[in-house]
Amino acid sequence: MSNSATGTIQDESGQGVSGVTIILDDLSVLFDRNLASAAVGATGGFNLSYDDDNFADPEHKTGRLLRLRIRIGRHVIKEIQQRDVFVDSLSLGTIKVTKAALGWLATTTLARHQRRQRRHRRAATGDLGQRRRMALRQRRRLGPRGRSDE
DSSP labels, the chain:
--SEEEEEEE-TTSPBP-S-EEEEEE-SSSS-EEEEEEE--TTSEEEEE----TT--TT--S--EEEEEEEETTEEEEEEEEE--SSSEEEEEEEE--HHHHSHHHHHHHHHHHHHHHHHHHHHHT---HHHHHHHHHHHHHTTTTS---
Task: Answer yes or no: do 42 and 94 share one domain.
Answer: yes
147 in a domain, yes or no? no
Rounded to an integer, the average pLDDT of 6-19 is 88
For residue 116, the one-letter residue type is R
Domain that holds residue 39: 4-98
Cα 4 from Cα 115, distance rounded (Å) = 37
* 70 against 122, higher pLDDT: 70
Cα 76 from Cα 135, distance rounded (Å) = 37
pLDDT band at 122 (very low <50, low <70, confident <90, very high): low
In order of 35, 92, 126, the CA distances from 82 in angstroms are 14, 9, 42
Instruction: Answer for the pair 9, 46: CB distance below 8 angstroms, yes or no.
Output: yes
pLDDT at 1 over 90: no
Q: How many CB atoms lie within 10 A of CB 53?
A: 18
pLDDT at 84 over 60: yes
Task: Answer yes or no: do 78 and 138 share one domain.
Answer: no
45 in a domain, yes or no? yes
pLDDT band at 135 (very low <50, low <70, confident <90, very high): confident
Task: Answer yes or no: do 93 and 33 share one domain.
Answer: yes
60 in a domain, yes or no? yes
Task: Answer yes or no: do 19 and 86 share one domain.
Answer: yes
Task: Answer yes or no: do 75 and 13 share one domain.
Answer: yes
69 in a domain, yes or no? yes
Q: Which value, in Å, is the radius of gyration of the alpha carbons in the chain?
A: 24
Task: Answer yes or no: do 73 and 135 share one domain.
Answer: no
88 in a domain, yes or no? yes
149 in a domain, yes or no? no
* 28 against 111, higher pLDDT: 28
CATH of the domain at 14: 2.60.40.10
Task: Answer yes or no: do 92 and 109 share one domain.
Answer: no
Domain count, the chain: 2
pLDDT tens-digit readout, 18-56: 888 999 998 887 888 889 999 898 899 999 988 876 555
Task: Answer yes or no: do 8 and 74 share one domain.
Answer: yes
Task: Answer yes or no: do 90 and 39 share one domain.
Answer: yes
